[in-house]
Amino acid sequence: MIVGSVNIDSIETPFGSAERIPGGSAPFIGLAASNFNVDSCIVSVVGGDFPKEFIALMKSKGIYTDSIEIVEDGKTFFWAGKYHNDMNSRDTLATELNVLETFNPIVPDEYKNAEVVMLGNLHPMVQLGVIEQMNNPKLIVLDTMNFWMDNTLEELKQVIAKVDVITINDEEARQLTGEYSLVNAAKAIYKMGPKFVVIKKGEHGALLFHEDEMFYAPALPLAEVFDPTGAGDTFAGGFTGYLARTGDYSYENMKTAIINGSALASFCVEKFGTERLEHLSKKELQQRLLQFKSLTQFDIQLT
Amino acid sequence: MIVGSVNIDSIETPFGSAERIPGGSAPFIGLAASNFNVDSCIVSVVGGDFPKEFIALMKSKGIYTDSIEIVEDGKTFFWAGKYHNDMNSRDTLATELNVLETFNPIVPDEYKNAEVVMLGNLHPMVQLGVIEQMNNPKLIVLDTMNFWMDNTLEELKQVIAKVDVITINDEEARQLTGEYSLVNAAKAIYKMGPKFVVIKKGEHGALLFHEDEMFYAPALPLAEVFDPTGAGDTFAGGFTGYLARTGDYSYENMKTAIINGSALASFCVEKFGTERLEHLSKKELQQRLLQFKSLTQFDIQLT
């Protein structure tokens, strides 16, 4: 069960620009998770201006999309951004909530028993509304960002209290807890609810914290990052999709899930928007997973 | 064979301050390498104000120190710095070269056949002077920093052309090559001479590049970084000491060498200056190596 935004994005990078292409947390999550052949469903909303072909494409990947409400006389959430030369920072040029402003999420009956819930980046009250409609899911994963910490912190804390895993970036973890050290930030987040904390560090990889344990997944160093939009959502979608596929929500299995998320994110940035994820073969993913293995494996002989 | 500065440092961090303590690239490198019981020698220079007990301490760790010239009526290189709250940036408050200004390095005859040379951070012409005195070493490792790129780039390039391995940080790799992507920066550095490029990313770990291969060593996430001074030198010293100990200069063995360097650097930052490295047991190092193993190991089952 995936909830998240479905956008129209306009993106400028040093390599070029893309005008009004499909985006948003839910499509990136859904497409990433579809690599694990999970039965998934997206709850979201779009306006009449959203391309129907793209919804059909998601459907063709096994994602249940009838739960994406279409407000025919409304406009889809629109975001425009421009990345700087280093690709690590960006200016937001436009944010038009449009149909998202009054969105009331409705989980289809047939997905209320889903084992795994992925709360993609969106207003915390929408995320909370989805949690409340679910029948005892085994795992709830939350992705969010600083925007909600700045504007709806109390609501966000209500959501955080109800989830098993939170994925946020390093700066957001520091902002949320007031702790500079990520080790201490993770401990502070445990006290807010989640038993597992995933801290995304972009090109520097990701950290998984659970009790006194830590796991460090690198990002694949790339010669070129074409468009970072959606990389964090793709990471979260790959992570959660892998867990849903295996049905094993242990710390050990989350390590492998994070590597899968990182591998998918490394594809995402190769082209604009969701383009690369739309045409990704099983073989390509498996080859990249092997690259992650060779990137991190070493021998230690204690003498 | 180690060449590098031997300093007196005054350090301020958010946790406290230390006045006029021993430091410099050579002591950190030497102490780190001493964990591998290698026969090492430091070529450097100090003034009459440098504490003789500290030289005796290095000697007690198996480091040959008679090659540290003592200019009795001169003053030791002095550095003072203040770290900001995030510990990733610092202000240099004082840099007094003193006896380093006219230093002419002399490699003792008995170390001219050393298999491994570690050029610690210092003026490139001093580094070059040491290379020229050596008889065909099997491995030369260079550590340097942006200061020399800003002020003595041509001399630095002469050194780079003669070494097998270079260790620099990410910003320095970008400055040296004009390439933002570290993958492309490494390729540009290959063309300057080194066959192996190690890019240090501080709290984000380190990358080893060789031909088309990459290895990513994480830094151990720490609850507290007490004093980062010397962490890069310690990393380089641990890396090189491990290689010298094993006599295996292959890419595969360098992966393990980098993990050893990272483990030693993670101790270095726990106390002021060299203090933690002075009292480090074999058992502590081995336990930390196992922590690095559990930090990075994962299972991938391709389906």
Which pLDDT value is given to residue B14?
86
Strands (E), chain B: 2-3, 7-13, 16-23, 40-47, 63-64, 68-71, 77-83, 90-96, 116-119, 139-143, 165-169, 196-200, 206-210, 213-217
Integer Cα distance of B48 and B104 in angstroms: 17
Give the A:B interface size as CB pairs under 8 Å.
105
Element (H, E) at A59: helix A52-60
Among chain A residues, CA nearest to B220: A216
Which pLDDT value is given to residue B85?
76
Among chain A residues, CA nearest to B286: A302
Which pLDDT value is given to residue A14?
86
Average pLDDT value for residue range B250-278 = 96
Nearest-10 crossing angle of helices A153-160, A124-133: 30
Integer Cα distance of A88 and A85 in angstroms: 8
Spell out which residues of chain A touch residue B86, defining contact as CB-CB under 8 Å.
180
Arithmetic mean of pLDDT over chain B: 95
Q: Do residues A244 and A257 lie in contact, with contact meaning Cβ atoms separated by under 8 Å?
A: no
- CB contact under 8 Å between A298 and B256, yes or no, is yes
- CB contact under 8 Å between A204 and B207, yes or no, is no
Among chain A residues, CA nearest to B36: A303
Which pLDDT value is given to residue B131?
98
- CB contact under 8 Å between A296 and B215, yes or no, is yes
Percent of chain B past pLDDT 70, that is, above it, reads 99
- CB contact under 8 Å between B298 and A221, yes or no, is no
Average pLDDT value for residue range B265-270 = 96
Closest by Cβ to B256, choosing from A214, A290, A299: A299
First to last CA, chain B: 50
Among chain A residues, CA nearest to B219: A216
In which band, very low, low, confident or very high, does the pLDDT at A19 lie, cut at 50, 70 and 90?
very high
A4 min Cα distance to partner chain B (Å): 29
- Number of residues in chain B: 303
Among chain B residues, CA nearest to A286: B302
Average pLDDT value for residue range B262-291 = 96
Spell out which residues of chain B touch residue A171, defining contact as CB-CB under 8 Å.
none
B299 min Cα distance to partner chain A (Å): 6
Q: Please say if the pLDDT value at position B145 is more than 80.
A: yes
Tell me which residues of chain A have a C-beta less than 8 Å from any C-beta of chain B: 85-87, 180-184, 201, 204-205, 207, 213-218, 221-225, 252, 255-256, 258-259, 286, 289-290, 292-302
The two tokens of residue B77 are: 């290189």
Among chain A residues, CA nearest to B170: A204
Q: Please say if the pLDDT value at position A303 is more than 70.
A: no
Integer Cα distance of A211 and A251 in angstroms: 10
- CB contact under 8 Å between A298 and B218, yes or no, is no
Closest by Cβ to B221, choosing from A182, A286, A292: A182
A195-225 pLDDT, tens digit each: 999 999 988 999 999 999 999 999 999 988 8
pTM strictly above 0.95? no
A181 min Cα distance to partner chain B (Å): 6
Spell out which residues of chain A touch residue B301, defining contact as CB-CB under 8 Å.
256
B85 min Cα distance to partner chain A (Å): 9
Compute the CA torsion angle A247, A250, A252, A256 (nearest 10 deg). Answer: 40
Residue B92 makes CB contacts below 8 A (sequence gap 6+) with B79, B80, B81
Average pLDDT value for residue range B141-160 = 96
Q: Which of A280, A216, A211 is nearest to A31 (CA)?
A: A280
Integer Cα distance of B175 and B149 in angstroms: 8
Residue B303 makes CB contacts below 8 A (sequence gap 6+) with none
Q: Do residues B81 and B92 lie in contact, with contact meaning Cβ atoms separated by under 8 Å?
A: yes
A76-126 pLDDT, tens digit each: 999 999 998 777 788 999 999 999 999 999 999 999 999 999 999 999 999
In the block, tokens 């940080």 appear at B169
Strands (E), chain A: 2-3, 7-13, 16-23, 40-47, 63-64, 68-71, 77-83, 90-96, 116-119, 139-143, 165-169, 196-200, 206-210, 213-217
Q: Please say if the pLDDT value at position B113 is more than 80.
A: yes
Q: Please say if the pLDDT value at position B301 is more than 90.
A: no
Among chain B residues, CA nearest to A300: B256
A154-184 pLDDT, tens digit each: 999 999 999 999 999 999 999 999 999 999 9
Q: Which three-class secondary structure state does DSSP give residue B218?
A: coil
In the block, tokens 């990410």 appear at B170
Integer Cα distance of B8 and B44 in angstroms: 13
Which pLDDT value is given to residue B88?
72
Q: Please say if the pLDDT value at position B224 is more than 90.
A: no
ipTM value of the model? 0.86
Closest by Cβ to A295, choosing from B216, B286, B290: B216
Integer Cα distance of A220 and A267 in angstroms: 10
Integer Cα distance of B29 and A300 in angstroms: 21
**Proportion of chain B in helix, strand, coil states, percent, rounded to 5:** 40, 25, 35
Integer Cα distance of A247 and A83 in angstroms: 37
Q: Please say if the pLDDT value at position A135 is more than 70.
A: yes
**Residue in A177, A216, A285 to test binding to B, most B beta-carbons within 10 Å:** A216
**Residue in B298, B299, B301 to test binding to A, most A beta-carbons within 10 Å:** B298
Integer Cα distance of B97 and B5 in angstroms: 10
Closest by Cβ to A216, choosing from B201, B215, B296: B296
Q: Do residues B288 and B267 lie in contact, with contact meaning Cβ atoms separated by under 8 Å?
A: yes
First to last CA, chain A: 50
B52-89 pLDDT, tens digit each: 999 999 999 999 999 999 999 999 999 999 998 777 78
**Residue in B180, B216, B282 to test binding to A, most A beta-carbons within 10 Å:** B216
Q: Is B87 exposed, middle or buried (0-12, 13-18, 19+ CB in 10 A)?
A: buried
Q: Do residues A270 and A64 lie in contact, with contact meaning Cβ atoms separated by under 8 Å?
A: no
Integer Cα distance of A240 and A238 in angstroms: 6
Q: Which of A192, A251, A174, A299 is nearest to B242 (CA)?
A: A299
Which pLDDT value is given to residue A87?
73
Query: What is the 3-state secondary structure of B7-26?
Result: EEEEEEECCEEEEEEEECHH
Integer Cα distance of B142 and B120 in angstroms: 6
- CB contact under 8 Å between B205 and A215, yes or no, is no
Q: Please say if the pLDDT value at position B302 is more than 80.
A: no
Which pLDDT value is given to residue A302?
65
